[in-house]
Chains A and B, each alone.
Chain A
Amino acid sequence: MTTMPLADRTTAVAARATDLSKIYGQGETQVVALDRVSVDFRQAEFTAIMGPSGSGKSTLMHCVAGLDTFSSGSVRIGDTELGSLKDKQLTKLRRDKIGFIFQAFNLLPTLNALENITLPMDIAGRKPDKEWLDNVIRMVGLSDRLRHRPSQLSGGQQQRVAVARALASRPDIVFGDEPTGNLDSRSGAEVLGFLRNSVRELGQTVVMVTHDPVAAAYADRVVFLADGRIVDEVYGPTAESVLDRMKQFDAKGRTS
């Protein structure tokens, strides 16, 4: 089971994919979205997944986050193997162990900012941890806007609400799907800053899919995917190093 290469860090693993494959269709029309991918996401680490369009980066995230089914292999969140879970158990797992940040903010327009933030706990019927919640809200700088409806907030503010929502329930791991995709660069930088802070200061684990080298530079580690396989990994990335790496894909794509 543990045949995958472990980095020289000893922290525990928050989520792990082993020989993960996802195949659409059959025979001639078969498309391999993920081809025996094995990857670990360690606790208190900020990982960015990058790759050109169609590389399978979103699929990987969806499978690891329990949003999508996979064809073979294994995915574990903490000690839980996702492959054997029914929809109901998967839903509960997402509710209790995972936080999500989406590209399109995805807030409920009928709820105010605070209610949106505590929604996952409302669903679970849990009381939020007051101190933690205050911490998170202070961190994202929303203290004076908690009673506002999403329609009264700017895009950046809405995504900050989404970040707070993902963090508020203290999930084991937070997944972001192009969280800055719909934001201007300043708002995007803010959101990424919060995510990095949550990892540094709160010990949160964050996995983010992005195509933006500047965003990826906020991560501790960047995993590169191409054609459904992991092709590279960079620790301590900078925007330039990521961009360089990405250019190789482009060059390869053009020559192949």
Chain B
Amino acid sequence: MFRTALRNVLAHKARLLMTVLAVMLGVAFVSGTLVFTNTISEAFQKSSAKGFGQVDVAVTAESQDDEGDRIGKTPELTQALLDRSAKVPGAGSVIGVVGGFTAIADKDGKLVGGGFQSQGGNYWGDKDPRYTLKEGTAPRGPGQIALDSETARRAGYQVGDTVRLSIDGPVLSPEITGIFTTDDGNVAAGGSLTLFDTATAQQLFGKTGTYDEIDVKAAAGTSQSALKAALDKALPKDLVETTTGKQLADDQAEAISASTSGLRQGLLVFAGIALFVGTFIIANTFTMLVAQRTKELALLRAVGASRRQVTRSVLIEAFVVGTVAGLTGLIAGVGIGAGMRSLMGSLGATVPDGPLVVSPGTVATALVVGVVITMLAAWLPGRRAAKIAPVAAMSSVHATASTKSLVLRNTIGALLSGAGVAVVLAATTMSGSDGQAPMGIGAALLVIGVFVLTPLLSRPLIAAASPVLRIFGVSGKLARQNSVRNPRRTAATASALMVGLTLITGMTVMAGSLQKSIDKMASTAIKADYVVSMANGNELSPDVEKKLEATDGVALTSPLRNAPARIDGQTEYVTGVTGSAIRELTDLTLDGGSFEVGGTKVVVDDDTATSHGWKAGSDFTVAYEDGEKQRLTVAGVYQGNEMIQGIILDNTALAPHQDDPTDMQVMVKTSGGASDATKDRLEKALGANPAIKVQSKQDLSDEIAQMFTLMLNMLYGLLAMAVIVAVLGVINTLAMSVFERSQEIGMLRAIGLDRRAVKRMVRLESLVIALFGGVLGIGLGVFFGWAAGELIGTSMPTYELVLPWARMAAFLALAAAVGVLAALWPARRAAGLNVLAAIKSE
């Protein structure tokens, strides 16, 4: 039996090629993901382990929990603690570490890097073992810095250049005195690192006289754990925490593998979708192969093969196909892994060097996925093959398509779809998080139901297209009839495309609606002309507001200043604003009371009010971070949103209780309204700081839109794999159909259908199948997008369904393009058939 199966594989090479390709793409995606994530994970871990080479024990402050009316404090790591650590027996050298966000501008004034990995730190003493100076000298005093060599190279800086940088608002212009290399993990990952001398760093990062961390190096002969024990004994236990360098490296390694495993899972979901689509194609191919071989299989049965043997021969064929696909997929996957790494490199994200990691697990996964998926998909066709009666060997005619009644299938499909729709609809009436699970289950039921129903749906939907097809004369008519000739086959082919398009459309509908609603939230809640914030979401120095206030043409300003406070034994973040200005800067809908912020009068959003049981006029006691208490009155309750929420109080009430206030944002209203000139003036007033964003409402909308576009494009890229697999499916189905109908095509050519018309017939059939899948996919996608939106809408008052008509038209065009593209080769084959050979075949 094995030999028969193997011969069959070889005999149907061309037809199995597409199947191999479809499985291979999915496997390649899976193994590429594994190779890529393993590689970067290992590279990051190696580089981070190196980064901890200088630390035997790290001493950090132990922050206290919030309790009762008290906000927990983080104790300071003072110079005294550092000195004490240095004297502990077994301690070698000691480094005090200070750091924080430091934005650095390139020569054009643009931020180097994305802003998120822009770090600053201190250069310890005369020779800091963490950093190797490649050029120049260590920084000394407020006017000097050292820069990591990778950032210097990227921005084109050299020793002696003056750079512009910013920590929390004000712009500094120090001189580069040194360029260094380091094993620091953040730098290895493509971040920038700017070093100041220790005193300057302490002052700039607002930690005068204190450190973030004290790194202790053990003296020769002292182990990390011995040093840790000694430090634990010598230092106040309630204030500090000690961790060995090994533990730090392990923790970091774990964090890295956790973050890469998130990436891996995300990518594997898409690989799974591609594989799922692939199963349709495998099942289709094997069904067609079995149908074409009916006579042959019947002959095997007639000469004494058992049903089980027939099934097994089909499965052995699938096994061979799956193995080939798994192996080639693995090889392609290694290529994809390498490609992804260099792609990330070219996108600006630096990935540390390291060998490509192809673990035994990856190899095993690739092979198992390839073989198991293929054999599973071939299972049903294999069973069908076993049911062929031996007498079929004697019948002279080609096996006709399975005409088994679709009644059972349609009933099951209708039940599943009905249940799916009902569950999804029920889920839309639930509140946000409760509805997620039912929605997912309902969606899965509906997709499966529609898939089961596609043969039934194909007739009316394709019939609807016949007026258009009639334009193409007899080619169109034949194409339409051919496409409904074998509803199961058409259904499986169209479903492959449907899955991808459902996801693409659903995501697009959701993203478009979300974007609109967030946009609306931003624009309706804000009356300010500009919102000023830090590029990376960090906090701004209060100086920024002062400078803005003093700028020509600025009418009103208010900071949004976050501060923790204890209310009713819970930690709440209160927002400090300029009470007199906030009414003119925001436009919040009031549920009750009046919008009055000043003195002890505050406004509260609806959620907070409900959770505390407050109404307009309620009183409550707040305990600030310095421990002092104050009685506040709720003047009004407003409808909160993503941008503005919680308790809003006047800064004159909050300021006395904060020792180092920082602002999240500053809202600005100008007398002349938003204009390019005004924006320019504001930016100039802030010293053209690269780290600060001055955004009008339009800029905010654009930023939101850009974020969504980026996200959607990534999703499109990942889902493209599923569409490519679907294209292979259409090619395969058409190629097999052309093969099966070669006699018919020969006859048509003989009685006068020219090559162009034959090509057109195949192309139109492909187009019909692809558009059928496209229409189903887009329809389902819109439904899911709507349903998911109903869920989101429960927690987002401005949510509104936006149907992206232009995009949907584009997706339909994409489906059409898939159809035309997939038909290229089969159509050419059909047109190139030798008429005589085709007529005589049989």
Residues of A within 8 A of B482 (CB): 110
Query: How many A residues touch B, CB cutoff 8 Å?
Result: 27
Residues of B within 8 A of A106 (CB): 743-744, 746-747, 839
Contact with A along B646-685 (1 / 0, CB 8 A): 0000000000000000000000000000000000000000
Partner of B750, one of A67, A110, A111: A67
Q: What is the count of residue pairs linking A and B with beta-carbon distances less than 8 angstroms?
A: 71
Residues of B within 8 A of A124 (CB): 752
> B89 at interface (Cβ–Cβ under 8 A)?
no
Judging by beta carbons under 8 Å apart, are A67 and B751 in contact? no
Contact of A95 with B755 at beta-carbon distance under 8 Å, contacts A67-B835, A110-B482, A119-B474 already known: no
Judging by beta carbons under 8 Å apart, are B753 and A91 in contact? yes
Judging by beta carbons under 8 Å apart, are B481 and A100 in contact? no
A119 to B757, CA, bound (A): 13
Judging by beta carbons under 8 Å apart, are A120 and B743 in contact? no
Judging by beta carbons under 8 Å apart, are A123 and B485 in contact? no
Judging by beta carbons under 8 Å apart, are A123 and B836 in contact? no
> A94 at interface (Cβ–Cβ under 8 A)?
yes
Judging by beta carbons under 8 Å apart, are B474 and A62 in contact? no
> A68 at interface (Cβ–Cβ under 8 A)?
yes
A151 to B400, CA, bound (A): 10
| Chain B residue nearest to A175 in the complex (CB) | B750
| Chain B residue nearest to A118 in the complex (CB) | B474
Partner of B753, one of A67, A123, A151: A123
Judging by beta carbons under 8 Å apart, are B836 and A68 in contact? yes
Determine the interface band of chain B, counting residues with CB < 8 A from chain A: 20 to 34
A110 to B477, CA, bound (A): 10
Judging by beta carbons under 8 Å apart, are B751 and A94 in contact? yes
> B217 at interface (Cβ–Cβ under 8 A)?
no
| Chain B residue nearest to A99 in the complex (CB) | B751
Judging by beta carbons under 8 Å apart, are B750 and A108 in contact? no
Contact with A along B62-97 (1 / 0, CB 8 A): 000000000000000000000000000000000000
Residues of B participating in the A interface, judged by any CB pair closer than 8 Å: 400, 473-474, 477-478, 481-482, 485, 743-744, 746-757, 835-836, 839, 842
Judging by beta carbons under 8 Å apart, are A62 and B754 in contact? no
A227 to B247, CA, bound (A): 94
> A87 at interface (Cβ–Cβ under 8 A)?
yes
Partner of B752, one of A92, A104, A110: A92
A108 to B474, CA, bound (A): 12
**Which residues in window 100-144 of A have CB below 8 A to B?**
100, 102, 104, 106, 108-111, 119-120, 122-125
Report the minimal beta-carbon distance from B477 to chain A, rounded to whole angstroms. 7
Contact with B along A210-237 (1 / 0, CB 8 A): 0000000000000000000000000000
Judging by beta carbons under 8 Å apart, are B478 and A110 in contact? yes
Instruction: Please name 8 pairs of A and B residues whose Cβ atoms are closer than 8 Å in the assembled complex, sorted by A.
Output: A95-B753, A100-B751, A106-B744, A109-B485, A120-B752, A123-B473, A123-B751, A124-B752
Report the minimal beta-carbon distance from A181 to chain B, rounded to whole angstroms. 12
> A190 at interface (Cβ–Cβ under 8 A)?
no
Residues of A within 8 A of B756 (CB): 88
Residues of A within 8 A of B752 (CB): 91-92, 94-96, 120, 123-124
A67 to B835, CA, bound (A): 7
Judging by beta carbons under 8 Å apart, are B751 and A104 in contact? no
Report the minimal beta-carbon distance from B578 to chain A, rounded to whole angstroms. 78
Contact of A108 with B744 at beta-carbon distance under 8 Å, contacts A67-B836, A151-B400 already known: yes
Report the minimal beta-carbon distance from A120 to chain B, rounded to whole angstroms. 5
Contact of A104 with B842 at beta-carbon distance under 8 Å, contacts A110-B481, A122-B477 already known: yes
Residues of B within 8 A of A160 (CB): none
| Chain A residue nearest to B750 in the complex (CB) | A100
Q: Which of A62, A99, A108, A110 has the most CB of B within 10 A?
A: A110
Report the minimal beta-carbon distance from A156 to chain B, rounded to whole angstroms. 15
Partner of A110, one of B485, B746, B747, B835: B485
> A165 at interface (Cβ–Cβ under 8 A)?
yes
